Every structure is written in C-alpha cells, then in structure tokens.
Amino acid sequence: MSERKKSSLIQRLFGNRNEAVDILAEEQIQSPSKMMLDNFLHNRLGMTGLIGFFVILLIVSIIPIFMPINLGESDNTQTNTPPGLSMMAFPKELEGNVADISNGPTFGAGVDKDGNVYTWGHTKITKVIDVANIPSEVKRAHIVMLSCGYDHITAVDDENNVYVWGNTRLGQDNVPSELVPSRTRGTKEIIQLETGYQISGAVTADGEAYLWGNENMSDLSVHKEYQGHIKKIAITNSYYCLLLDNGSVVYGGFKNNAFSNVPASLKSHVVDIAASSDTMCGLKDDGTLIFWGNGTHGENLAPELSSKPVEIYGGRWHYSALLENGDVVSWGNNSHGETKVPDSVNNAEIETIFSGYFQNYAVTKQGKILTWGLKGYVLGTDNLGRDILTRLVHGGKTTMTVGFIAQAIALIIGIITGGLAGYFGGSVDLIIMRVAEVIGSLPFLPFALLLSAIIGSTIDVQLRMYLIMVVLGLLSWTGICRLVRAQILAEREKEFVLAAQAMDVKEGSIIFKHILPNVLSILLVEATLGFATCMLTESSLSYLGFGISPPTPTWGNMLNGANNSIVIQQYWWQWVFVSFIFGICTICINLVGDAIRDAVDPKSLGR
C-alpha cells in the first residue's frame, strides 16, 4: 500500500492495480457505482480514449472562438496550397543587402544588391512549373529589380534585359520588342517594373510604358498621347493606371471598365499611385487618398492617419502606406493579418515597404527586413483557397454538435418509448415494439438519403442542419428503446417496485424515478457508442453530398471533393488531416464506450 501512495497521478490514471484486494473487503468498502468508476479509471485504453476525446472536444470547441470562419471566403490565388509557413521566410542573404522584394500569391522573390535572385515560399505552381527554377541566364545576370505575378516572375538586369520565368504559356513572356535591347534603336532604361495577375508592365526612363502578358480580360495597349510623359504605373489584376509628369492620373487603356473613370480630383497634384487587386489609389500632395475601382474588403476606405502619407503600396486586398512621421499603416482585408502592423515596424526607421498579395516587407534604414501578413497555412488550403485548419476546427464543431443533438433526440425518444413499453407491457408494448421494428427494419443509409432529399437543398442552410439532426435522431432511437424495455422488464419484477406501488407512487414516477436509475449505466454505454455512430452517419451523408451542405464545413463534406485520384495524390493535405482527426475521434469514443461497458459488466472482472 505504501508504494501506491507514492505513485504519480499518471500511474494512478493509467496503471493497473497491482496489489490484490480481497474481494469481500473490496466490496465492503465500495459501492457498486464507485466500483464501476474505479474499474473505468483503471482501464488504460479507456482513459487514453477519454483524454483523447476531451482534447479533440476542447480543440473544436475553443479554437473556433479565436479563429472565426468566413463562410463566403474563397480565393482563386490560394487554391490547393500545401501546408507550410514559409511564405515570408526570406533568406538571410537578403538582410541588410536588399535591392527588391516582390510577393506572388504563395511565393516570394527577392534580389540583393549583388544581383542574386532568391525565391521562397510555395514556388511549385503546377506539377511542372516551379518559379524556384531560376533560368541560368538570370543567375548569370546582375538583376536589379523583379516583380511577381500570379504564376510568373519578371526581372530586369543592369543592362535592361527583361527576363520572365514561371508559367509562360499565356504570353507572360511576350516582352515587347521596344524593350529588347538592340544595336540600332539603343537600349531603353527601365525604371519601374510591375506585375498584375498574368501581365507585366515596365516604365522607361524616357517616360514610356509597355505592357505584356495574358491579353484575356486585360487591357494592355497604351494611348500614344501619354507615352513620353509617364512617371509611374500601377497594375491591378488585369488593368493599369498611369501617373503622368504633370501630376495627373490617367487610365491608359482603351476598354471601359471600373477603372477607366478616374476621379476628377486626381487630375492634378498627385504624388504616388498604387493598386490592389481590384482597386486603384492615388495619393495627393496634401496627403489625401482617393480610391476607385471595386473595393470589396474595405481597402477603398482610407483610415484615420496620424500624419501625411508619403508613399503607398498595394497588396491583394489591402494597402500599406509610409507616413511622413515614419509610421506605417495598413488597411483593408485582415483575414491573414496583413493589416496588423507589428510594433517593431513602427519603432524602427523604415526606408521602404514592399507589399504584394497578403504579405508586407518593411526595410529599415539599417537594412533589416520586418514582415507582417500571411506566413502560410499550417494545414494547407482546399480547392477554393480556404484554410483547412479553420475549416477543420469548425467542421469538427458542426459534426460533434450534430452527432450530439441527434443522439440526444434518439436517447429521449428511446427512453420514453422503452420505459412505457417495458413498464406497461400489453398493447402499449405491442404497438411501440411494432413501430420500433418497422423503423428498425428500414435500411438506414438509403432511408436517411431519401429524407435528406425530401428536405431539399432550397431551404436555409441552418434549418437544414437542424432537420438533419432530427432525421438522424428519429432513425436511431430503436436500439435504445429495446434496451430500456428489456432492462425494465427485468427490474419491474423486483420488490422495490412492488413497495413503490404499495405506497401509491405514480406510475410515471415509478418508471422514471425508481426503475430508470438502475439502467443508467447501460444507457451511458449505448449513448456513447450511439454518439460515435451518429457522427459517422452524419459525415457519411455529408460525404455523399446529402448531409450538411457547404459552405458550412463538416468533417464529412470536407472529404466530399477528395475521392478522385488527383486530390488523393497531389493534394494529400486536403484529406489526410481531416481523415486523421476524425478517425482518432471515433476511435477514442469507441474506446471510452468499450471501457464503460467493461466497467459496468461485473463479468469482465473475472469473478
């Protein structure tokens, strides 16, 4: 006994009772319920299952509070991104020596003052295209600036040669002949390089702008009258605007769109322009910011600024600005923390900022690089560019809620019907048992599919979820009903019931207050295992597309898109994590159920 006192908590939770206690002594000091609890606590597998289940339960119930989900979210630039947090992990060589940094949707590229190009992040765009495969002529050249598009990188070297690599199938590398150095026409000196989705644009020292790339959906030609006066170019996904040397902003192309009507206030005194994916922004010399385009994430609403902005930079759905007092401000979409400027940035003296997609890099006067924004996705993204971790925890919450409520419904119906049938017997018993038998003989999955189809997909997602719970509950009460009935049939004949009847206790009170507590332990087993079954059924329904409908995530419908070889092979993270946590969860519940069954069943003690 003295040894046992010394044993640690873990040992007490998981260890077996080594010392043999005399059966009579043990039963004398322990009530049956205490013995069951003791048995359960000493079942290693059961305790492991219980702890595992509680960990998962905590994860899916607490993390969603800190990780809100935006059900409408989807981003075609972030689709099928593998797990990793390397999107802002620039190499050490750039520190203190940076010439230019640019960010694509899932990768980054930078060039140092010695002309070496570096890439980082998820650079593999398709199975064959990888922007990390820097062409050898680029490696040989002394690159001075570069810019990342959706799936390509454009770079310029000190001799004004333009290089493009990555995906070049849609004309991303159709560099206009004017920009190709030639002996007869001379070389145009490039002073600015910008990229959009699959297009690139360059401004030369003599005020000309040239654009090239994927011409679908974009407007690449430049009005002749502006050539020679262009100071700066800003490119959204597919369109561009120009800052001219007279301080006005113009839309340089020929098509009519949301950008072609430049606000009248930008006709003069403009010092800087920038573009996000869907908006453009002009900065006037008095510090006002003027936006136009289709702002969707609040990037077109200027924030309260502590002082005049000097320079502005655009990301995908956010802008960053460097203010006169040295502060840095970001505004717009903050789903990946891209507008949450860290204190270290505001404490440092910032030389310049590079913003792109969801990332920001601020370079201090000392050459240090500070970053904020999207580092990457811990568990990757799905085929709509949604973060799998967020969907996993929220999906778990949904799946568990549905399973729990469905099982609660089944339990309530089962206890009431079983109690009535068992206690009253006769015709009540006959009717209830026939109904239970009819429902029990229905093939479960096909019938659940049918009911789900009847509910239809036209109704509100939330209401549909509740109806699915009810359907599952209504279909799975028969087992509990039969169990309760059988137990009550056995208990009914005992003396204490007779005593209660003799004392004129109400019948309902006899069933539910006197008899039912005796069958609670067995009910507990049934309820635990039923909970796992309900979760499985819900996820099977959702997997087949008949359960909870997207965008609400559940562990079942997250796997809905996974049954094709491309996803299974190339995008393994889209099904492995969900399968893993779901598998662990159901295994844990079943372990707990088994352990309770063993604890309740006196036969398992081997007496």
Partner 1 sequence: MTKYVLKRLGYMVVVFFTVSFLMYCLYNLIPQDPARLELEGIKTSLKPAEYEARYQALREEMGLDDPIVVRYARWMGLAKDRKGNLNGILEGYFGYSRYFKKDIVTVVKDPAVNTIFINIFATILALGITIPLGIYCAVHKGGKFDNFTQVLTIVGYSIPTYIIALLFIYVFAVILRWFPVSGIGTPGANYTGMKYYIDKLYYLCLPLMVMTFGSLGGMTRYVRAAMIDALSMDHIKTARAKGVHEKTVIYSHAWRNALLPIIGIVIGWFLGIFSGSLIIENTFGLNGMGSLYIKALNNHDYDLALAMQMFYTVVSLVGALITDLSYGFVDPRVRIDK
Question: Using CB under 8 A, which residues numbered 279 to 298 contact partner 1?
Answer: none
Q: Which is nearer to partner 1, 103 or 586 (CB)?
A: 586
Q: Which is nearer to partner 1, 45 or 310 (CB)?
A: 45
Least distance between partner 1 and beta carbon 457 (Å): 10
Question: Residue 174 has what DSSP assignment?
Answer: -
The angle formed by the CA atoms of residues 591, 592 and 598, to the nearest 5 degrees, is 90
Verify binding: residue 87, partner 1, rule CB under 8 A: no
573 and 555 Cβ atoms separated by less than 8 Å: no
Least distance between partner 1 and beta carbon 568 (Å): 5
Verify binding: residue 569, partner 1, rule CB under 8 A: yes
556 and 547 Cβ atoms separated by less than 8 Å: yes
Number of residues that bind partner 1 (CB under 8 A): 41
Please choose, out of 217-225, 469-477, 484-492, 559-567, the segment that lies near partner 1 by the rule CB under 8 A.
559-567
DSSP string, 267-283: GS-EEEEEE-SSEEEEE
Q: Which is nearer to partner 1, 207 or 561 (CB)?
A: 561
- Rounded to the nearest 10 degrees, the angle between the axes of helix 516-544 and helix 478-492 is 170
What's the sign of the alpha-carbon dihedral 66, 71, 77, 79? positive
- Taking residues 445 to 474 in sequence order and writing x for each that binds partner 1 by CB under 8 A, - otherwise, the string is xxx-xxx-xx--------------------
Q: Which is nearer to partner 1, 447 or 496 (CB)?
A: 447
Verify binding: residue 579, partner 1, rule CB under 8 A: yes
Verify binding: residue 442, partner 1, rule CB under 8 A: yes
Upstream peptide bond of 181 is cis (omega within 30 degrees of 0): no
Q: Candidates 162, 433, 532, 558: give the one binding partner 1 (CB under 8 A).
A: 532
The torsion defined by the Cα of 397, 473, 586 and 69, in degrees rounded to 10, comes to -10
Verify binding: residue 431, partner 1, rule CB under 8 A: no
On the 0-12 / 13-18 / 19+ scale of CB atoms within 10 A, 254 is: exposed
Within 13 Å, how many C-alpha atoms sit on residue 247's CB side?
Answer: 9
Q: Candidates 544, 550, 551, 601: give the one binding partner 1 (CB under 8 A).
A: 544
Kindly state the tokens that stand for 5: 């006192």
* Alpha carbons 328 and 368: distance in angstroms, whole number: 15
Verify binding: residue 427, partner 1, rule CB under 8 A: no
In Å, how far are 94, 97, 117 from 91, measured between CA atoms? 6, 11, 10
Verify binding: residue 88, partner 1, rule CB under 8 A: no
Verify binding: residue 568, partner 1, rule CB under 8 A: yes
* Alpha carbons 584 and 581: distance in angstroms, whole number: 5
* Alpha carbons 478 and 417: distance in angstroms, whole number: 9
Least distance between partner 1 and beta carbon 572 (Å): 7
Of the candidates 122, 124, 120, which has an alpha carbon nearest to the alpha carbon of residue 110?
Answer: 120
Verify binding: residue 591, partner 1, rule CB under 8 A: yes
* Alpha carbons 256 and 239: distance in angstroms, whole number: 11
Q: Which is nearer to partner 1, 111 or 589 (CB)?
A: 589
Verify binding: residue 565, partner 1, rule CB under 8 A: yes
Q: Which is nearer to partner 1, 184 or 564 (CB)?
A: 564
Least distance between partner 1 and beta carbon 447 (Å): 7
- Taking residues 36 to 65 in sequence order and writing x for each that binds partner 1 by CB under 8 A, - otherwise, the string is ---------x--------------------
Least distance between partner 1 and beta carbon 489 (Å): 15
Verify binding: residue 575, partner 1, rule CB under 8 A: yes
Q: Which is nearer to partner 1, 59 or 536 (CB)?
A: 536
Question: Using CB under 8 A, which residues numbered 167 to 196 contact partner 1?
Answer: none
Please choose, out of 101-109, 312-320, 334-342, 576-584, the segment that lies near partner 1 by the rule CB under 8 A.
576-584
* Alpha carbons 118 and 108: distance in angstroms, whole number: 8
Question: Residue 303 has what DSSP assignment?
Answer: P
Verify binding: residue 586, partner 1, rule CB under 8 A: yes
Least distance between partner 1 and beta carbon 434 (Å): 8
* Sheet architecture: strand order including 359-364: 350-356, 359-364, 369-373
Interaction site with partner 1 (CB under 8 A): 45, 437-438, 441-447, 449-451, 453-454, 532, 536, 539-540, 543-546, 559, 562-565, 568-569, 572, 575, 579, 582-583, 586-587, 589-591, 594
